[in-house]
Amino acid sequence: MSLSTHAGRYAPSPSGDLHVGNLRTALLAWLFARGSGRRFVLRVEDIDTQRSSAEAARRQCEDLEALGLRHDGAVLYQHDRFPAYEEALDTLRRRGLLYECYCSRRDIREAARAPHTPPGMYPGTCRDLGEEERAERRRRLRENGRVPALRLRAQAREWSVTDILYGHVSGPVDDVIVRRGGSGAVDWAYNLAVVVDDAYQGIDQVVRGDDLLMSAPAQAYLAHELGFPQPTYAHVPLVLNEEGRRLAKRDGAVTLRELGQQGMSPREVLHLLAESLGLPPKDSPDALLPHFDPARIPREPWIWRTPPAPGRTCP
Ligand code: GLU
């Protein structure tokens, strides 16, 4: 495959510095993309304005650069993409695939206790309301200064995707939220933004942490309804702390900068990441490429143990 519109991507949320788990996923996304002749693009997923910051995005880009994970073209920021999300909503609306949802989290929790609702799925409370009922619920929300969410009126119950590591994966398709409700400010939902942006950036290979595996069927279904091609996925194992929990900032020195303060250079961090993937300790992602074989990446989570700071003697 020649370098073309085919692309892979890394799509971090800029809520803080990337930790070694994020960096390992980014390295894998880069290796998968470059190893298959794809472009590698970067997208800053900053639709969550409360948790995102421009400063965090800048630092994330710098850290990826420091590891040698260069991307093609300009970085795409989701905060610039609101008109595209509006357009996607219009498409769904025209096709009768949208409905307003007036439920609070509590309403959903309570209704979801009904035995026929699979865990985590929307119980469908607002899907088939009549116009009068809708007007009443809308009015009640408005009195509290709130606007309804918008949900996809899914026409399928299940959808399948192809994953390079997991094979054929089928999963439930929910009436996912495509625009959040709340205090009135437009609040785009991750599921819509990710699908619209992957299509816009020509992404036909999605590599990300395997905590998102079960989001893939619903996202691929949404892509289908919007007339977008369905990407191939590779959901890669996460990095865990020594207690077996997903690595987090509180687990000590886990970011490139924190490790830097302990005397570890980006090159040494890259060696560690390479080693965790069964690859030789090369000094750049490019040098790792000839050794990368997707079929041989470890399927188990990688347990992160903070390396002893230089000069500290081991007991
Ligand atoms: N922005 C998401 C995250 O940082 C990743 C979403 C995706 O790769 O689809 O967890």
What's the CATH class of domain 95-188?
alpha beta
**Continuous H helices in the chain:** 20-35, 54-66, 82-94, 105-111, 131-143, 190-200, 216-225, 256-261, 266-276, 285-288
- For the chain, which residues make up each domain, given as ranges? 7-80+237-303, 95-188
DSSP β-ladder status, 232-236 and 203-209: parallel
What's the CATH class of domain 7-80+237-303?
alpha beta
Instruction: Give percent of the chain with pLDDT exceeding 70.
Output: 95
- Contact at 8 Å (CB) between 207 and 8? yes
Write the pLDDT tens digit of every residue in 251-293: 988 999 999 999 999 999 999 999 999 999 999 999 999 999 9
- What is the per-residue DSSP string for 36-47? TT-EEEEEE---
Q: Which pLDDT value is given to residue 1?
A: 38
- Please indicate if the annotation marks 13 as binding a ligand: yes
Report how far ligand 1's centroid is from the alpha carbon of 280 (Å): 28
Fold match between 7-80+237-303 and 95-188?
no
**Phi, psi dihedral angles at 290 (to 5 degrees):** -65, -20
**Reduced to 3 DSSP states, what percent helix, strand and coil does the chain have, rounded to the nearest 5?**
40, 20, 45
- Please indicate if the annotation marks 12 as binding a ligand: yes
* Residue ranges of the chain whose pLDDT lies below 70: 1-4, 115-116, 308-315
The structure tokens 């942006």 sit at 197
Write the pLDDT tens digit of every residue in 177-204: 999 998 878 899 999 999 999 999 999 9
Q: Which pLDDT value is given to residue 119?
A: 74
Report how far ligand 1's centroid is from the alpha carbon of 13 (Å): 6
Report how far ligand 1's centroid is from the alpha carbon of 208 (Å): 7
| 43 Cβ closer than 6 Å to some ligand 1 atom | no
